[in-house]
Structure formats: C-alpha cells, structure tokens
C-alpha cells in the first residue's frame, strides 16, 4: 500500500496527507499520535477499501474527491449525548458547502444532501472509556470533482455536477476544518444548544409530509424533532408519534 505520509501542523492540528490507503478511518485508528493535538486529520487521495455505513463501500474515484478522517478527544461528552458530535460535523460540512451553493441540508442522521441527492457521507466511530468518549473518529467523504458514479450508491452527486467546474479540494477540506473547529469549541464547553438548534433547522425535509418506510411498510409523516440521543421523532398522517433509531426507518426519496 502506497501511503507516503506527509505531515504538517496548522493551528495546533496535525494534518497528514496520504497518496493511498485502504481506509482513512482504519489508518487514523492505528496512528499513534500525541493527545496534544486538537484534531488529527488524515486525508488520502485514494482509498482502496473506503468504508461506508453498515456493510457498504464508499465509492470515490482516485484523486477526484476528498476522503478524510478527523480524530478528536472530546472533553466532556457523555455517551447518551454523543450524537452531538454527529450534529457538529454535519453542520460544519453543510456550512462549508454553502460557501459554494445553496440547497444543502442534513438528511437525518448525518448524510449531507444537495436537493434530493447525497453529496457527502459520514462514518463516525466513537471509542468509550468508562463513562466518557475517549476518542471519536469522524470519517468523511465529499464528492468534489467526480463526474460520473459507477457503483450502486443511491442518488450520488458531486460539486462538479452542481457547479459545472472543478473545485480546489484542499480549499474545501480547510473550510470543513475551520467550521468544525468552531463547533468543537462549543462541544468542549458543553454548549450543545446552538448545535442542536442549527442542526434542526438544517434538516432535509424538515417541513411538510413525505413518504417513509419502516418494518411495517410505507407511511406519510413529518419530522417532529430529533432527540438529544439521536432518535428521530416523526408525526404520521394520523397524528401518531413514531420514534426511530438509525436504520429503523427509510426516507422515500
């Protein structure tokens, strides 16, 4: 595997660039880094076995997109509110992409959408020690300059397809780090209120009735809220409340 790590330190963060690895989440997990860094960021031009949620692979053409992982050691996040990390990184990416175009939203729990298409996926792996989160690895794939998608990934879209021109990948990566830095500060101060409010107002299909599917089949509902622990609360067309954990309900897009 041609890793060829190049390291730089910027604003107290360690940034590592690789030419190629299997998965940046796997790489960062095995990297022995000093806890003094606020964030460790590992970005790779190519992943040979990029991992998506569940058993999925993450499609990303060589050199075209940004695939990276961020390692943080949150100060005071208890396991029952670990979803705040997911909200914070989703917001940071949404705000970064809003620097390029509108119509970006967060599809619960943490897919980033442009209109009805997925532009970015996030894979979070938290490592608990006792009753706090010791390390959190945020794996992020943003579709930047890829022109065509060949896997069976549902409804992908790239910045190239939206803007009709190439975007500087490093600039996008730096923007995500800059925005995430802001939310990391909030998290470390236990200040979850703003993150939660911003997250709720950024949700995909936050207003109105849409189709969903759970184990019992299709139904129509609107989003009522997302609880602190990440459960999605829907209100269906019979005004009945329905509560879901990740993967228990599917949006019909």
For binding to ligand BTN (CB under 6 A), which residues are involved?
23-25, 47, 50-53, 56, 58, 67-69, 111, 121-123, 139-141
Q: What gap in Å lies between CA 221 and CA 236, rounded to an integer?
A: 4
**Three-state secondary-structure class, residue 103:** coil
CA atoms within 13 A on the CB side of 22: 6
Closest by CA position to 166, among listed 180, 145, 148: 145
Report the residue number, 66 or 195, with the smaller CB distance to ligand BTN: 66
Q: How far is the CB of 57 from ligand BTN (least distance, A)?
A: 9
Tokens of 7: 């390291």
Q: Which is nearer to ligand BTN, 177 or 192 (CB)?
A: 177
Please report how close the Cβ of residue 140 comes to ligand BTN at its closest, in angstroms: 6
Q: What proportions of the chain, in percent to the nearest 5, are helix, strand and coil?
A: 25, 35, 40
Rounded-to-integer distance, Cα 230 and Cα 164, Å: 35
**CA-to-CA distance for 160 and 58, rounded, in angstroms?**
18
DSSP strands (E only) in 37-155: 40-44, 66-72, 104-107, 111-114, 117-129, 132-142
Identity of the residue, 70 or 81, whose beta carbon is nearer to ligand BTN in the bound complex: 70
Q: How far is the CB of 203 from ligand BTN (least distance, A)?
A: 16
HEC profile for 23-52? CHHHHHHHCCCCCCCCCEEEEECCECCCEC
Q: How far is the CB of 191 from ligand BTN (least distance, A)?
A: 27
Based on CB atoms, which residue is closest to ligand BTN, 52 or 188? 52
Comparing CB distances to ligand BTN, the nearer of 69 and 82 is 69
In whole angstroms, the minimum distance from the beta carbon of 51 to ligand BTN comes to: 4
Give min distance, CB of 69 to ligand BTN, in A: 5
Contact 222, 210 (CB under 8 A): yes
Taking the least distance from each CB to ligand BTN, the nearer of 66 and 133 is 66
């Amino acid at each position: 595997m041609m890793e060829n790590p190049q390291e730089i330190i910027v604003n107290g963060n360690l940034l590592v660039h690789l030419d190629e690895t299997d998965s940046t989440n796997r790489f960062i997990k095995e990297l022995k880094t000093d806890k003094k860094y606020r964030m460790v960021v590992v970005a790779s031009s190519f992943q040979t076995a990029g991992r998506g949620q569940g058993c999925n692979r993450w499609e990303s053409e060589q050199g075209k997109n940004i695939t990276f992982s961020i390692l943080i050691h949150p100060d005071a996040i208890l396991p029952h509110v670990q979803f705040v990390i997911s909200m914070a990184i989703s917001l940071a990416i949404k705000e970064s992409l809003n620097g390029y175009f509108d119509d970006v939203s967060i599809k619960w729990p943490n897919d980033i959408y442009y209109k009805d298409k997925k532009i970015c996926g996030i894979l979070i792996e938290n490592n608990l020690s006792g009753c706090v989160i010791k390390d959190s690895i945020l794996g992020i794939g943003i579709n930047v300059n890829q022109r065509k998608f060949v896997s069976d990934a549902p409804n992908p879209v790239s910045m190239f397809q939206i803007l009709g021109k190439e975007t500087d990948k490093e600039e996008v990566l730096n923007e995500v780090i800059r925005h995430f830095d802001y939310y990391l500060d909030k998290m470390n101060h236990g200040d979850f209120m703003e993150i939660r409010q911003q997250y709720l107002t950024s949700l995909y299909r936050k207003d109105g009735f849409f189709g969903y599917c759970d184990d019992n089949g299709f139904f129509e509902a609107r989003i009522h809220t997302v609880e602190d622990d990440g459960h999605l609360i829907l209100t269906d067309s019979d005004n009945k409340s329905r509560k879901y954990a990740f993967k228990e309900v599917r949006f019909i897009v």
